[in-house]
Structure 1
């Protein structure tokens, strides 16, 4: 599909009727070694205590929420010395059976990429590309079903967007992030519904003026989040097309979603947020 064709699809009227969930395949990694030992985003403060038991409980509740909704969850074993490995979304982008691995900007996270590459190989994936450019996977890549929305500005190199297009064989739309609090695309935007008429939610102030105009043209009916929803990482949500898993505090966003026929499901990620993560950060999706 060309970008032009995908753009035309997204100008068509939304589908009528009730929202329909689709079963998803997720990959997660438990926060057994979770800690805030360094600072690589504005959310992290090594002087603020972290409770690993609470982080584990919140992670289990998130995983059980997905399973209760009927989704499959695969678990990659946690590794000592990698406290941010719980944020599985940053370690791979999978579309149509093809895998683009990750290459982290922060030295402290670099080793995570190989553990996930090995997991993909052990689980039947044969088309695996490890990137030459800095690429923090689904942290900065969001699949709409026709386009790969790609963030840059703080972590992923802009050149990695072209690399993703070659590796995955899908059209890519580049978006520039401008607020360091929203250092990854998945902290400022998420896909509510994939397919011919995709729907997204996003926080406009996290993006450059040009990127805002791109989003307005591609998604004129998008859900627009406010500063309060963004500041609790409310845009770090996970949707199956009907059920939308959100941080507990994202109440305004939840009301907007409910008015559009989605079913918000709140989870507590307060401990994981100490490292700048929420539901989506903990969740890699294996897109068919």
Structure 2
């Protein structure tokens, strides 16, 4: 019989059972580290609204059977809400990311402390740099975005640990923050994609493996790919991404719309704000 740890995360869409989040208690746009933050820097973040939106999101996760592991927010860490970036699960293994921005490095120390308190083991990746938003797991495949945050060298190190799956590096356009801002797998052979982020060769390979929903330019800015699958063909998405949501529903999924308009000002949406620890 498989133990709970054996089942951790085989893909991005099996039923969610345990997930790590962090409330946006101290969220703000301070030092600008991506293009979306630059756009909203004058307006900045209304923390009260962000907290309410994040809690509504967490309530949906709980309603659908997920156990919530909450990281303690620290006043000096304004990006902590984006728990996806600081680590990732591949199969039964938890990996600690190596952050590309020094401002976010302390977040991994908080993560390690949280995992130790839970009694979960982990592997640290000490090569510069790799972040969880660039890692997408789909059973025998592990897609890794080569971005401003994740390097080819890190992919080679990851391959040393992940020997039972095909690790596929995918370079993305410089203005795309992470792979999950342009590509996301929501079900068996079902994925969202923003084609302009990829080379024609990589796009052809992805297209050969998945039924693709194309993200239009106007919904790319509102992070149309960055939905979050919770299992049973249910996907959490922004209400403003109407074309994407309609296309997802047409493929037999249930779309659960949650307002996240304040949080996305900092450059991340639902997938960015979740670190799945166990899926069925």
Normalised to the residue count of structure 2, the TM-score between the two structures is 0.88
Structure 2 residue 254 is the aligned partner of structure 1 residue 269: no
1:97·1:127 contact (CA, 8 Å) conserved in 2? Answer: no
Q: Quick one: which of 112, 115, 119 aligns to 1:120?
A: 115
Superposition deviation, residue 21 in structure 1? 6.4
Structure 2 residue 12 is the aligned partner of structure 1 residue 22: no
2:100·2:150 contact (CA, 8 Å) conserved in 1? Answer: yes
- Measure the CA separation in 1 of the matches of 2:180 and 2:241: 15
- Measure the CA separation in 2 of the matches of 1:136 and 1:258: 30
- Measure the CA separation in 2 of the matches of 1:152 and 1:21: 25
1:200-211 alignment runs, 5 A limit: 200-211=191-202
Q: Quick one: which of 73, 77, 80 aligns to 2:72?
A: 77
1:187·1:236 contact (CA, 8 Å) conserved in 2? Answer: yes
Aligned length: 263
Q: Quick one: which of 193, 210, 215 aligns to 1:225?
A: 215
Q: Quick one: which of 96, 103, 118 aligns to 2:91?
A: 96
Per the alignment, do residues 127 and 104 of structure 1 end up closer, same or farther by CA in structure 2, a change over 3 Å counting?
A: closer
1:103·1:130 contact (CA, 8 Å) conserved in 2? Answer: yes
- Measure the CA separation in 2 of the matches of 1:244 and 1:198: 15
- Measure the CA separation in 1 of the matches of 2:161 and 2:52: 36
- Measure the CA separation in 2 of the matches of 1:166 and 1:54: 43
- Measured against aligned partners, the alpha-carbon deviations of 1:9-45 in whole angstroms (never above 9, x if no partner) come to xxxxxxxxxxx96243211011111010011110013
Corresponding residue SS for 2:169: strand
Contiguous gaps of at least 5 residues in structure 1:
1-19
Q: Which structure is richer in relative contact order (CA contacts within 8 A, separation 6 or more)?
A: 2
Contiguous gaps of at least 5 residues in structure 2:
1-12
- Measure the CA separation in 2 of the matches of 1:172 and 1:287: 21
Structure 2 residue 27 is the aligned partner of structure 1 residue 34: yes
1:98-247 alignment runs, 5 A limit: 98-137=93-132, 139-169=133-163, 170-180=165-175, 182-193=176-187, 197-219=188-210, 221-241=211-231, 242-247=233-238
- Measure the CA separation in 2 of the matches of 1:98 and 1:179: 29
- Measure the CA separation in 1 of the matches of 2:199 and 2:148: 13
1:98·1:167 contact (CA, 8 Å) conserved in 2? Answer: no
Greater share of residues in strand: 2
- Measured against aligned partners, the alpha-carbon deviations of 1:175-234 in whole angstroms (never above 9, x if no partner) come to 111150x210111111112xxx43221111111222212211222x22222222212101
